[in-house]
Amino acid sequence: MLTLPDFKEKKIVFIEAEKDIDHQIRFWNSNIRIFKDGEPVNQISCYLVLCIFIVGNTSLTTILIQKAQKYGISIFLLNYSLKPYAEIMSQAEGNTALRIKQYTMAKQTQLIFAKHIVENKVNNQFTLLQETGNISSQNTLQQIHKSETMQELLGAEGNCASRYFQQLFTAHEWGRRAPQTKEDITNFLMDIGYTYLFNYVDAILRLFGFDTYKGFYHQLFFQRKSLTCDLMEPMRPLIDRAIIKGYNLGIINKNDFVFQRGSYKLKLDVKVRSKYSLLFFKVITVHKEGIYTYLRLFYLHLMNPEKYQFPTYSTI
> What residues contact residue 67 under an 8 Å CB cut-off, 6+ apart?
27, 46, 73
Distance CA 295, CA 252 (A): 31
Report how far apart, in Å, the C-alpha atoms of 295 and of each of 124, 203, 207, 211, 215 are: 17, 11, 11, 14, 14
**Is 157 annotated as belonging to a binding site?**
yes
**166 CA to centre of own chain:** 22
Cα end-to-end distance, the chain, whole Å: 26
Q: What burial letters (b/e) apply to 18-27, b meaning 16+ CB within 10 Å?
A: eeeeebbbbb
Distance CA 166, CA 156 (A): 16
Asked if 185 and 82 count as a contact pair (C-beta separation under 8 A), the reply is: no
**Is 233 annotated as belonging to a binding site?**
yes
**Is 306 annotated as belonging to a binding site?**
no
Distance CA 115, CA 99 (A): 22
The DSSP output letter for 254 is G
Distance CA 74, CA 203 (A): 7
Residues flagged as binding site: 157, 218, 233
Residues flagged as binding site for Mn(2+): 157, 218, 233
